[in-house]
Amino acid sequence: MFNQPEQFIQEKLSKKALSANTVRDLILAAFLLALQKNELTLTEEVLSEDWLEAKAIEIREKANLVFASIEAPFEYPTRSQLEKASDLLKKAFSMEKLAPGIQSEFNQRHELILSKFCKPL
């Protein structure tokens, strides 16, 4: 999932509705993709697999802390918990400092991902 975040996102978004944990993973992949694209604009070099793996680990660790801080289950959060966690992650990763095009793309992708959230029965 995290070695090819854009492909993972596209594949999952082709579905009509998604489970809470899939939406969570897609949101984390969207963060990774945006940060990866931003880093590419800054360095103008190909990023190593090690960079991608380290950033994915960092995102997941921060996500675990964020979910714990809002007392939300990491595995099956509600939509409102996902939204709150996303807001905190946006601050943690300074997403407002991304290049404008990347920031806009991230926001659109993020909203599309959340729109696919399927409430559990």
22 lies in some domain: yes
121 lies in some domain: no
> What is the number of structural domains in the chain?
1
Separation between Cα atoms, residue 58 and residue 41, nearest integer Å: 20
93 lies in some domain: yes
| Residue 37 pLDDT exceeds 90 | yes
| Residue 40 pLDDT exceeds 70 | yes
So what's the pLDDT on residue 119?
64
**The residue type at 1:** M
119 lies in some domain: no
Q: Are 57 and 92 in contact (CB under 8 A)?
A: no
Q: How far is CA 89 from CA 32, 57, 77, 120, in A?
A: 11, 14, 15, 24
So what's the pLDDT on residue 9?
93
- Residue 25 tokens read as 């993973």
Q: Are 12 and 18 in contact (CB under 8 A)?
A: yes
120 lies in some domain: no
Domain that residue 59 falls in: 5-70+77-114
Residues 58-87: b if buried by 16+ CB within 10 A, e if exposed: ebbebbeebbeeeebeeeebeeebbebbbe
31 lies in some domain: yes
- Eight-class DSSP state of 96: G
So what's the pLDDT on residue 66?
97
pLDDT digits (tens, 9 = 90+) for 108-118: 999 999 998 87
- Residue 54 tokens read as 């380290």
So what's the pLDDT on residue 16?
87
pLDDT digits (tens, 9 = 90+) for 5-36: 999 999 999 988 899 999 999 999 999 999 99
Residue with the larger pLDDT of the pair 46 and 96: 96
Claim: this prediction has a pTM higher than 0.85? yes
pLDDT digits (tens, 9 = 90+) for 49-99: 888 899 999 999 999 999 999 999 999 999 999 999 999 999 999 999 999
**The residue type at 60:** R
